Amino acid sequence: MAEMWISMGPQHPMTHGLWTLKVKVDGETVVDTEPDLGYIHRGVEKICEARDFTQITPYADRLCYASANTWSHAYIYAAEDLLEVEVPERAEYIRMVAVELQRVASHLMWLGAYCPDVGNLTGMVWCLREREMMMDLLQELGGSRMHYNFPRIGGVKRDLPIGFALRCRAKLKLFLERIQEYEAILDESTIFLVRTQGVGYAKAEEMINHGVSGPNVRAAGHNYDVRWAHPYSIYDELDWEPSVERPSIKGSDCYDRYRVRVEEMRQSALMILDGLDKMPGGADTHYQSGDPAILGKAPARAAEGQTGFHHFEDSRGESMFYLAGGGDGRGKHPYRVSIRSPMFITIPYASKCMIGYKIADIPAIMGSFDPCIGETDR
């Protein structure tokens, strides 16, 4: 049978965003793939170079529509590195709560979208039901539904609302119970297991060589988590360990990538509960550095050609921000902004994991890597 190229995207449900996967098939078997990205490229890095340090946070929010808080926090840490800003301990705890709530919401969005990919509509409804609880909590913190603009250089926008800790604990305890419902309808579903087990093998060594990180590489048994390997914020003060799967000798399959994210949601919920218990309170604690001259430091720091850098454990892997100061000659703007997207690295690798499988396996394989095209194209 003659080989031929077919195009999946940019509107195909498999893509989980605007991009095209070109697939070369021999009958029903995939023999080659070629990802085509760039449909929604917005030039965020160049836009940020024309904004001052406080105006960049909303742009970072929009790098990923499913995980806005993790990206804005990643930028803030890089800006604080450049400006040498100290952050109060309470603010760091609040940041951790916001980021881990966002991680849970992001993974729920992924699982809710992945279930229909493999023929389970109930899972989508259940996951979005729990995601609403996380979105309600995040909305209390940031004031908006998706793009929160919550972190600030030196702290966060506002302190925890009155009664937030009680509401957060109640919703997370309910969520921990409902995770078992996900496992019941998926781990005991013959259809789900057939579509995911033994499909889309990816070896840890290959992923490391390609630069793949986050849940995808931990699903292959490689224990690397930025929060654990290079602790930032207050992660080293919490009682937790990264979620890591033990795959077969062939590598991790779609099922392993599903399991690691379910365990990571459970771990994030427990981390938030632990953080709420350990969060310092009282009249002497602050959610901002209290230094009105933070931005006044920008010209002095940035005019010297200083740089700021931070790598962050995003919901989809290791994200990075690099800032160089002195953009407008007065130090108010960054001279250069460079962003490392984990999915920009992962998608080309994931597309090669489809070779040798059937066309029907493509949605299961690509969906298991949790693509987000907003951060990929930037």
Question: Do 164 and 312 have their domain in common?
Answer: yes
- Give the Cα separation of 148 and 185 in Å (integer): 33
Same domain membership, residue 218 and residue 199: yes
* Residue 28 to residues 5, 6, 21, 79, 202, Cα–Cα distance (Å): 12, 11, 16, 50, 21
First to last CA, the chain: 40
Q: Are residues 20 and 111 in the same domain?
A: no
Q: Are residues 5 and 57 in the same domain?
A: no
pLDDT band at 142 (very low <50, low <70, confident <90, very high): confident
Which two tokens mark 306?
Answer: 């200083």
CA distance 29 to 77: 46
Q: Are residues 314 and 364 in the same domain?
A: no
Helices (H), the chain: 44-48, 57-61, 68-83, 89-117, 121-142, 164-187, 190-196, 204-210, 215-218, 226-229, 254-278, 297-302, 342-352, 362-368, 373-377
pLDDT digits (tens, 9 = 90+) for 242-294: 998 888 888 889 999 999 999 999 999 999 999 999 888 765 567 776 665 56
Q: What is the mean pLDDT of residues 56-74?
A: 90
Higher pLDDT, 1 or 111: 111
d(CA 145, CA 147): 6
**pLDDT band (50, 70, 90) for residue 9:** confident
Residue-level pLDDT at 290: 62
25 and 114 part of one domain: no
Q: Are residues 214 and 244 in the same domain?
A: yes
Domain with 5, as residue range(s), is 1-39+346-378
Name, of 136-140, 288-292, 296-300, 330-334, the range with top average pLDDT.
136-140
Question: What total number of domains does the chain contain?
Answer: 2
pLDDT band at 122 (very low <50, low <70, confident <90, very high): confident
- The answer on 221 and 106 residing in a single domain is yes
**CATH code of the domain containing 286:** 1.10.645.10
**pTM (2 d.p.):** 0.92
| In a shared domain, residues 13 and 69 | no
Q: Is 96's pLDDT higher than 70?
A: yes
Q: Which tokens sit at 233?
A: 């914020």
Integer Cα distance of 294 and 76 in angstroms: 13
Q: What is the pLDDT of residue 296?
A: 54
Cα 67 vs. chain centroid, distance in angstroms?
5
- Looking at the structure, tell me whether residues 328 and 232 fall in a common domain: yes
Q: What pLDDT is stored for residue 270 in this prediction? A: 94
Residues 14 and 120 in one domain: no
**Same structural domain, 196 and 271:** yes
176-198 pLDDT per residue, tens: 999 999 989 998 889 999 999 98
